[in-house]
Amino acid sequence: MEDTSLCCEQLPDGECIEVQKDEDGALIELDCQNGFPEGRKEFVAPAVGMEFESYDDAYNYYICYAKEVGFRVRVKNSWFKRNSREKYGAVLCCSSQGFKRIKDVNHLRKETRTGCPAMIRMRLVESQRWRVLEVMLEHNHMLGAKIQRLVKKMGTGLKRKSLPSSDAEGQTIKLYRALVIDAGGDGISNSTAREDRSFCEFSNKLNLRKGDSQAIYNFLCRMQLTNPNFFYLMDFNDEGHLRNAFWVDARSRAACGYFGDVIYFDNSYLSNKYEIQLVTFVGINHHGHSVLLGCGLLASETTESYVWLFRTWVKCMAGCSPQTIITDRCKALQRAIIEVFPRCRHCFGLSLIMKKIPEKLGGLHNYDALRKALIKAVYETLKVIEFEAAWGFMIQHFGVSDHEWLRSLYEDRVHWAPVFLKDTFFAGMSAARPGENITPFFDRYVHKQTPLKEFLDKYELALHKKYKEESFADIQSRSSSPLLKTRCSFELQLSRLYTREMFMKFQSEVEEVYSCFGTTQLHVDGPIIIFLVKERVLIEGNRREIRDFEVLYSRTVGEVRCICSCFNFYGYLCRHALCVLNFNGVEEIPHRYILSRWKKDYKRLYVPDHSSGTADDTDRIQWSNQLFRSALQVVEEGILSLDHYNVALQSLEESLSKVHDVEQRQE
Residue 402 has pLDDT above 60, yes or no: yes
- Residue 200, pLDDT score: 45
Q: What pLDDT, in 10s, does the model give residues 173-212?
A: 333 333 333 333 333 333 333 333 333 456 788 988 888 8
Residue 491 has pLDDT above 90, yes or no: yes
Among 16-30, 126-140, 545-559, where is mean pLDDT lowest? 16-30
Give the containing element (helix H, strand E) for 266: strand 262-266
29 vs 654: which has the higher pLDDT: 654
Phi, psi of 118, deg, nearest 5:
-60, 130
Read off the pLDDT band of 367 (50, 70, 90). Answer: very high
Average pLDDT, integer, range 440-445: 90
Read off the pLDDT band of 631 (50, 70, 90). Answer: confident
Residue 109 has pLDDT above 70, yes or no: no
Average pLDDT, integer, range 617-622: 55
36 vs 626: which has the higher pLDDT: 626
CA–CA gap between residue 364 and residue 508 (Å, rounded): 39
E strand intervals along 429-586: 516-525, 528-538, 544-554, 559-562
- Residue 477, pLDDT score: 92
Q: What pLDDT, in 10s, does the model give residues 583-608?
A: 999 999 999 999 999 999 888 765 55
User: Highest-confidence range of 102-106, 122-126, 170-174, 493-497, by mean pLDDT?
Assistant: 493-497
Say if residue 542 is exposed, middle or buried (CB neighbours under 10 Å; 0-12, 13-18, 19+): exposed
Q: What pLDDT, in 10s, does the model give residues 1-43?
A: 444 444 433 333 333 333 333 333 333 333 333 333 333 334 5
CB 477 within 8 A of CB 287: yes
Residue 118 has pLDDT above 50, yes or no: yes
Say if residue 249 is exposed, middle or buried (CB neighbours under 10 Å; 0-12, 13-18, 19+): buried
- Residue 616, pLDDT score: 53
Sign of CA dihedral 138, 144, 146, 147: negative
Its pTM surpasses 0.85: no
- Residue 665, pLDDT score: 63
- Residue 329, pLDDT score: 94
- Residue 534, pLDDT score: 96
- Residue 18, pLDDT score: 35
Q: What pLDDT, in 10s, does the model give residues 216-262?
A: 888 888 888 887 788 888 888 888 788 999 999 988 988 998 999 99
Sign of CA dihedral 147, 153, 154, 160: positive
If you average pLDDT over every residue of the chain, what do you get?
Answer: 80
Read off the pLDDT band of 115 (50, 70, 90). Answer: confident
CB 583 within 8 A of CB 519: yes
Average pLDDT, integer, range 317-337: 92
Read off the pLDDT band of 299 (50, 70, 90). Answer: very high
Phi, psi of 430, deg, nearest 5:
-75, -30
Say what the alpha-carbon torsion angle 359, 363, 368, 370 is, to the nearest 10 degrees. -90
Residue 105 has pLDDT above 70, yes or no: no
